[in-house]
Amino acid sequence: MSQDTLDLSQDTQYDLIIKKDRTLAATITCVYMSGDTEMDFSFADYTGATLNVKRDSKSSTTILDFDTDDNSIVLSILNTFQLNKTAAELATLPVGEFLYDMYLKSATHPKRAFLSGKFIIEDRITI
């Protein structure tokens, strides 16, 4: 993952693919359509975010967490957010296809559903 642009006027389903044992520093740009005009999504009103990865929707075990509290999610005041994890944090993850959901936090929306989809962890080829 390097930098992707999300059109939030469509479905908020977005699949994330990362490599195991590699440093993750992915920047994602978010936009939406207003009529025929592409508009930047603004994170300015949001105070935080959480993203949880689980084996499936019924699982109580979290495989991987991202949060603004530990800077593994960084919201810009503009239209991007970044996902960050070190290679050491990703080293023990299982390889496979999982599910995630991401929520934004604000004074008026303490848990606003934002994104969800598949979270795919691929094994590395080169050691």
What pLDDT does residue 3 have? Answer: 54
What pLDDT does residue 112 have? Answer: 87
Q: What is the CATH number of domain 3-122?
A: 2.60.40
What pLDDT does residue 84 have? Answer: 97
What pLDDT does residue 26 have? Answer: 93
- Of the candidates 38, 6, 1, the residue with the CA atom closest to the CA atom of residue 102: 6
- Of the candidates 86, 67, 76, 70, the residue with the CA atom closest to the CA atom of residue 18: 86
Distance of alpha carbon 33 from alpha carbon 28, whole angstroms: 17
47: alpha, beta or left? (left if phi > 0; alpha if psi -120 to 50) = alpha
Query: Bridge-partner residues for 73, per DSSP?
Result: 83
What pLDDT does residue 80 have? Answer: 94
Within the chain, which residues score under 50 in pLDDT?
1-2, 9-11
